[in-house]
Structure 1
């Protein structure tokens, strides 16, 4: 990330909370991938915020990915699992059983939801990344207090020299 580019974790005061909310919902919802309005509705009950959530998904590729058409988003970790989760029965099915399904039945098969431990790991990662960015932002301003002090000394010296 270039020095002039804002970091998504520090540009929005609610960003960490939004990332955590998205991880929780996207990790446990029966379907692993939805369009942006669908995720907006699931995460905060406001379908019209689809563009806001699209931006969050795009700015956090460490957690989220868009499909090839850039129309739907999913959680990276969950994409790692095979599509063998029957959303109606809430159970995992075998590969052989999946092969025997009709196209309509396959639409009801998703990727396995994440465990509480998986979600906890992702949330801790988000918190650590956010904390690291806050530390980096703080570290990048180390010179400000010194510069203000130096400016005060120079100003004081100039005033004293002018008054003399």
Structure 2
């Protein structure tokens, strides 16, 4: 069986970091390089600084794997030859809002997939995403543990052996008590 992506080193922490960052960003979608720059930044950067920030190949590869291997939270796609990533919940909220505005007769401008503006998720929504990631990680950890197929059999054998020894001792003691005080074992 293939190893779960949640069991990779630091994966849960990376998923949670990406969820938090993408949940409060100004847009639900951005280029892969922009997300990598934001997630790896050691300080708060402006939008222009993020776009100009150099990206290390290893960092890009790490975050691209996180986004691609967790489609339950992230969608990766290419727009005009540029790899992009979006947080699914944010994107679905923007689609829902656009549909609602369209039903109310408001005109909506055509926007490429993932470029629709949406408001950041609230704290409760972010907590739901984080809890979901933690639960999925916990399930994978639990399923990785070796099953104890032989434990019930081993306990039955140990119980039978202890019962046999205890039963034998009781029989010997009862025999000694019935024979009286004059009987000695080692005459």
TM bin (shorter chain): 0.5 to 0.7
Partner of 2:3: 6
Identify if the C-alpha distance between structure 1 residues 41 and 136 changes in structure 2 by more than 3 Å, giving closer, same or farther: same
Q: Distance in 1 between matches of 2:126 and 2:108?
A: 26
Kindly tell me the number of residue pairs found equivalent between the two proteins: 127
Does residue 124 of structure 2 align to residue 117 of structure 1? Answer: yes
Stretches of 4+ aligned residues off by more than 3 angstroms: 94-99, 143-146
Does residue 66 of structure 2 align to residue 56 of structure 1? Answer: yes
Q: Distance in 2 between matches of 1:57 and 1:15?
A: 11
Partner of 2:38: 42
Q: In 1, are the aligned partners of 2:91 and 2:116 still within 8 Å (CA)?
A: no
Larger radius of gyration: 2
Identify if the C-alpha distance between structure 1 residues 68 and 36 changes in structure 2 by more than 3 Å, giving closer, same or farther: closer
Q: Distance in 1 between matches of 2:149 and 2:33?
A: 43
Offset of 1:82 from its aligned partner?
2.3
Offset of 1:17 from its aligned partner?
0.5
Structure 2, unaligned stretches of length 5 or more?
42-53, 155-187
| SS at structure 2 position matched to 1:82 | helix
Offset of 1:51 from its aligned partner?
2.0
Identify if the C-alpha distance between structure 1 residues 145 and 127 changes in structure 2 by more than 3 Å, giving closer, same or farther: same
Of 23, 26, 31, 1:27 maps to 23
Deviations 1:67-98 (A, max 9, x none): 2557111111111022699xxxxxxxx66375
Matches within 5 A, 1:91-106: 96=106, 98-99=108-109
Identify if the C-alpha distance between structure 1 residues 142 and 35 changes in structure 2 by more than 3 Å, giving closer, same or farther: same
Structure 1, unaligned stretches of length 5 or more?
86-93, 150-164
Identify if the C-alpha distance between structure 1 residues 44 and 111 changes in structure 2 by more than 3 Å, giving closer, same or farther: same
Q: What's the TM-score, normalizing by structure 1? A: 0.66
Higher relative contact order (CA 8 A, sep 6+): 2
Q: What's the TM-score, normalizing by structure 2? A: 0.58
